[in-house]
Amino acid sequence: MQDVNITIIDREGVEHKVLAPTDMNMNLMEVCKSYELPVQAVCGGMAMCATCQCYVISDHDLGERNDDEQAMLWEAENVKENSRLGCQIPITDALDGLVIELAPEAD
């Protein structure tokens, strides 16, 4: 079992350094939930709600947004260049050292 280190900055600016497993078919949204960070994940990971939107702070290459993710981010609020949907980012070795920040919650 291989874990990677990820830093998640919550909406109050607090840094959470967490360990995420690469062998459990988990994604970034699920890692946030497993550490009880305030990610609602309303749709449960279908890229349909954008409540797991985050900004990628470190310069990791996470690849292109997939179609579903891109379409959802067109509709979402507070979207920036570095916006991603946590539910569409699988945890892999390449994510070691990743730093993300949770996007504000839409009303």
Q: Applying CB under 8 A, which of residues 9, 18, 26, 43 lies at the interface with other proteins?
A: 43
Q: Would you call 79 exposed, middle or buried from its count of C-beta atoms within 10 A (0-12, 13-18, 19+)?
A: middle
Rule CB under 8 A: say whether 79 interacts with other proteins: no
Given candidates 64, 67, 81, 93, which one binds other proteins under the rule CB under 8 A?
A: 67
Residue 48: CB minimum distance to other proteins, A? 6
- Rounded CA gap, 66 and 51, in Å? 17
Of 4 and 102, nearer to other proteins (C-beta) is: 102
Q: d(Cα 25, Cα 27) in Å, to the nearest integer?
A: 7
Using CA atoms, how far residue 19 sits from 45, 47, 49, in Å, is: 20, 24, 25
The region of 14-22, 24-32, 72-80, 93-101 touching other proteins under the rule CB under 8 A is: 72-80
d(CA 75, CA 98): 26
Question: Which positions touch other proteins (CB under 8 A)?
Answer: 40, 42-44, 46, 48-49, 67-68, 71-72, 74-75, 106
